Amino acid sequence: MRRSSAIDSLIPSSPWADTIARLRCPRGIDTLTAVGLCAEIGDFHRFERPGQLMSYLGLVPSEYSSGETRRQGQLTRTGSRHARRLLTEAAWHYRRPPRLATVLEHRQQNREPAVIAIAWKAQQRLPHIWRRLEQKRGNVAVA
């Protein structure tokens, strides 16, 4: 039995089944990535805003402040290295223009319209941000 099919068979009885199904709606996140994020982050509801989750994962810039001077540095890289890597790998899928592939459409079947709307909005917004940041500094766009 393949590892992914063994994981697929365990998902329906998991307490994270709904969360995994929702996480699979955006482009770049499939079963293994969704399961990994659930295992690393746990309860997503403990974060009131996305910025809190990003801070927990170390995907926010460090800051050097003294008096009136404020400089931002590299990412803090605190928290789960594995979850950070999973999100970074998923971000690479947004360098292409938005489209609804057959595989993604299949993953979105029977999901809440609000979740699908958020996934589509991200697909429309993130490639523009990617191109703008890529012109400035290559890998900054990924993070």
Query: Tens digit of pLDDT for each residue in 92-141?
Result: 999 899 998 999 999 999 999 999 999 999 999 999 888 888 777 666 66
Band of pLDDT at residue 1, cut at 50, 70 and 90: very low
Query: Tens digit of pLDDT for each residue in 5-56?
Result: 888 889 999 999 999 999 999 999 999 999 999 999 999 999 999 999 999 9
Cα distances (angstroms) measured from residue 38 to each of 19, 33, 49, 137: 8, 9, 17, 31
Backbone angles phi, psi at 63, to 5 degrees: -135, 140
pLDDT at 72: 85
pLDDT at 5: 80
CB atoms within 10 A of CB 115: 16
pLDDT at 68 over 70: yes
